[in-house]
Amino acid sequence: MRVNKYLAQTLNISRRKADEFVKSGRVKVNGETLKNFVDISESDVLEVDGKTVVLNKQDKLYFAFYKPPFVISSTKDEEGRKTVCDFFDTINQKLICVGRLDYLSEGLLIITNDGEFANILMHPKFKVRKAYLVKTKEPLHAEKLRKMSKGVMLEDGFFKPLTIKKTANPNWVIIAIDSGRNRILRRFLKAFDVGIERLKRIAIGDIELGDLKAGQYRELSFNEINSIKRQVLGAKR
């Protein structure tokens, strides 16, 4: 880890303040005063103003969770309704619910205590792809699907899905989007007078809901976590 990042986390200060500590000669690594920014490891001894500082490590948690319908995508609800965090009551850490789904919708959410990772998933500039399985009240025929694939102007601007794919069942379609606008998929379908019986998110980036059942969760794999980070690095270039 870069020494200024380590200092910022350990002392709960800004990265700029940590930079100043290094530049002013207040920081030593293994007894030697730093003259520039270096990477440090857990085996190094870091001192600031002669006092040893140790990073208060907190294990990072990453879960894929199947939110059932009629559950709030939040840590608490003033109306006393069941929330996502009620399913994680054995974990004594502050968790962040990533990729909110409305009260009626179901499917994949990412639950984590890693704020930086949560921001990657939530920030609109990174345009992380999300896929939904939608059951409509009536079959969507080819002509309507063609019109929908071209997009529509909504009250908060134009919206166009990445893809709309038919399934073997004429009442089910898979829609992929990269927008995080509020209730965007429901508003999009309403604009085409499409009634919804069921809306389930099945993927966020390369992370898939898989065979999870409603209310179940699993830990994300190393590859799943890194796939999101790689996508963001590509978006920054």
pLDDT for residue 119 is more than 90: no
So what's the pLDDT on residue 92? 73
Tokens 């071209």 sit at which residue?
A: 150
| Predicted confidence (pLDDT) at residue 58 exceeds the cutoff of 70 | no
Task: Give yes or no: residues 137 and 193 share one domain.
Answer: yes
Average pLDDT for 128-133: 95
| The predicted structure's pLDDT at residue 14 | 82
Catalytic residue among 59, 102, 193, 211: 102
Residue 111 has a pLDDT of: 94
The edge-to-edge listing of strands for the beta sheet with 51-53 is 32-33, 27-29, 46-48, 51-53
Question: Could you tell me where the DSSP H helices lie in 65-202?
Answer: 115-122, 142-149, 184-191
CATH of residue 7's domain is: 3.10.290.10
Q: What is the CATH number of the domain that holds 153?
A: 3.30.2350.10
Question: Does pLDDT of 166 surpass 70?
Answer: yes
pLDDT at 109: 96
For the chain, the domain total comes to 3
Judgement on whether residues 113 and 160 belong to the same structural domain of the protein:
no
pTM: 0.74
- Considering the chain, what is the average pLDDT of its residues? 88
pLDDT at residue 232 tops 50: yes
Q: Is the pLDDT of residue 57 over 60?
A: no
Q: Which residue has the tokens 């986390």?
A: 9
Domain of 69: which CATH number? 3.30.70.580
Are 66 and 122 part of one and the same domain?
A: yes
Whether residue 77 has pLDDT greater than 70 = yes
Does the pLDDT at position 237 exceed 70?
A: no
In a shared domain, residues 45 and 159? no
Active-site annotation holds for 59: no
% the chain with pLDDT above 70:
94
The whole domain housing 155 covers 129-204
Percent of the chain exceeding pLDDT 90 equals: 50
* Of the listed ranges 47-56, 89-98, 108-117, 161-170, the one predicted with least confidence: 47-56
**Could you tell me if 169 and 181 lie in one domain?**
yes
Q: Does residue 67 surpass a pLDDT of 90?
A: yes
> Residues 6 or more apart from 26 whose CB is under 8 A from it?
48, 49
Q: What is the mean predicted confidence (pLDDT) over 114-119?
A: 85
**Tens digits of per-residue pLDDT, 4-29?**
887 877 776 788 888 899 899 998 88
In the predicted structure, residue 167 carries a pLDDT above the cut 50: yes
Beta strands in the chain (DSSP E): 27-29, 32-33, 46-48, 51-53, 62-67, 96-98, 106-112, 130-136, 152-154, 157-159, 163-166, 172-177, 196-204, 207-208, 217-219
Q: What is the pLDDT of residue 54?
A: 65
Indicate if 219 and 114 belong to the same structural domain.
yes
Q: Do 190 and 82 sit in the same domain of this protein?
A: no
Residue 186's Cβ-count burial label (10 Å; 0-12, 13-18, 19+) is middle
Looking at the structure, tell me whether residues 134 and 189 fall in a common domain: yes
Q: pLDDT at position 55, please? A: 56
